[in-house]
Each structure stands twice: as C-alpha cells, then as structure tokens.
Amino acid sequence: MFGRNISLDQSILLKNKIPLLYNDESWVKLFGDVNDKNIQSAKEELIQLVSKERDLEIRNRELQKEKLKCMKMILGISDSINNDNKVENIALLDDYKNRMISVNEELEELTFQLETIPKEIRVANLKLLNLTIEYGYDELKVREKIVTQSIGEIEALRQKLKNLIKTKHDYEEWINETYTFLHGLLGSEVIEKIDKERFK
C-alpha cells in the first residue's frame, strides 16, 4: 500500500487526532522496543520535547509567582518611601525593579517557547508516525510471508498425519485379520507357541 519514505502531513494528525505515539498503549506494544534506530531516535526526540514543554510550564508558573511577589514588594516599598519617608529603602526598590525587568524578559522568552513547542511536538510525532508506518509495512510483508509459509507447512504436516493415521489403521486391520484367521485355523494354543518362538 505504501512505498518507502512515506510522508503524511500535519493535517492527518489534526484530522485523525493522533495521540503522542510513545504514550499510546498499542504503539508501545507493537513498536516501543523495535530494533530500529530511526524509530528509537524519533521516539527519544519526542519524549525530550514533551519533557521540555513540561519544564517550561513549571518555570512559567514559578516566574509568574515571582513577578507577583516583586509587584507586591515594589508597591509596599514605594509606599514606605513616599508615605513614611523611608528613603533608605530606595536601593531595595531598585533591586526589586531590576528583578522585575529580569523576570519579564525571561517570561517573554518562555512565552515564545511555549507558543512554538506544541508545533515542534506535532512535527516530531508526525515524524515518528511516518517512520512507524514505513517500518510497520516492511514488517507486515515479512510476517505475511512467514504466515503463508507456516500455513503451507501446517497443511503438509496435516496431510502427512492423515497418511500416517491411514497407514496405522491399515496395518492394525491387517494384523487383527491375520491373527483372527490363524486363530481360526490353528487354535489359540498353537498360535501362542508360534508367538513365543517368533517373538523371542
């Protein structure tokens, strides 16, 4: 159905709601541990991107809390300078303002990364899907051939077994009929004597 170098586009992922493959139970069972360096490398890349996104989200929450703390401190210190004339707090106010600038710059960078990383994850998942299809169809061909060969061998064994059963039956029938015939002619005492001599 597919040749080498299958290439599905992003719309396939969106339309079919393709999950993160390395988290999908069926994918893990079928392809999670396959001995294919491309699949393993693409899986690792996807895992790292998802982990990076999680780390970015954690850092974003931490910075939002810190920004809120800085804002509260700036307001409190400004109030103490303006209303209580605590000019000695000016240096502390500058420290919090500088920290606020630094936090805002980091948040800006984080926001950009958090906006772009979902697309990177989709692209990595699509890459893994394409490699999975390529590998899967190669394996399907190999395994279908083995299944066909196995069916042929099973049929040959079935026929051989059928022939052996027939041979066994024919021989048993001949043995029984021969004993019956000889018993009828000679009697059991003579047959037992012959059996002892013949089957020493």
**Mean pLDDT of the 35-40 span:** 96
pLDDT tens per residue across span 105-142: 999 999 999 999 999 999 999 999 999 999 999 999 99
Same domain, 16 and 108: yes
Residues 128 and 98 in one domain: yes
Residue length, the chain? 200
> Which residue bears the tokens 């893990």?
28
**In the structure, what pLDDT confidence band is assigned to residue 9 with cuts at 50, 70 and 90?**
low
Domain holding 45, by residue range, is 10-150
Q: Is 113 exposed, middle or buried (0-12, 13-18, 19+ CB in 10 A)?
A: middle
The whole-model pTM stands at 0.70
Q: Who contacts 21 (Cβ-Cβ below 8 Å, separation ≥6)?
A: 27, 31, 43, 46, 125, 128, 129, 132
- When the pLDDT of each residue in the chain is averaged and rounded to a whole number, the result is 90
Report yes or no on 4 lying in a domain: no
Domain count, the chain: 2
* Co-location of 169 and 137 in the same domain: no
| Distance between CA atoms of residues 21 and 42, nearest Å | 11
Higher-confidence position of 2 and 186: 186
Instruction: Please tell me the predicted confidence (pLDDT) of residue 2.
Output: 42
Residue 3 pLDDT more than 50?
no
Structure tokens at 200: 């020493």
Q: Are residues 131 and 170 in the same domain?
A: no
Per-residue confidence band for 8, with pLDDT thresholds at 50, 70 and 90: low
Query: Token pair 């139970």 is at which residue?
Result: 25
Pick from 128, 150, 172: which residue ends a domain?
A: 150
The pLDDT of residue 11 is: 66
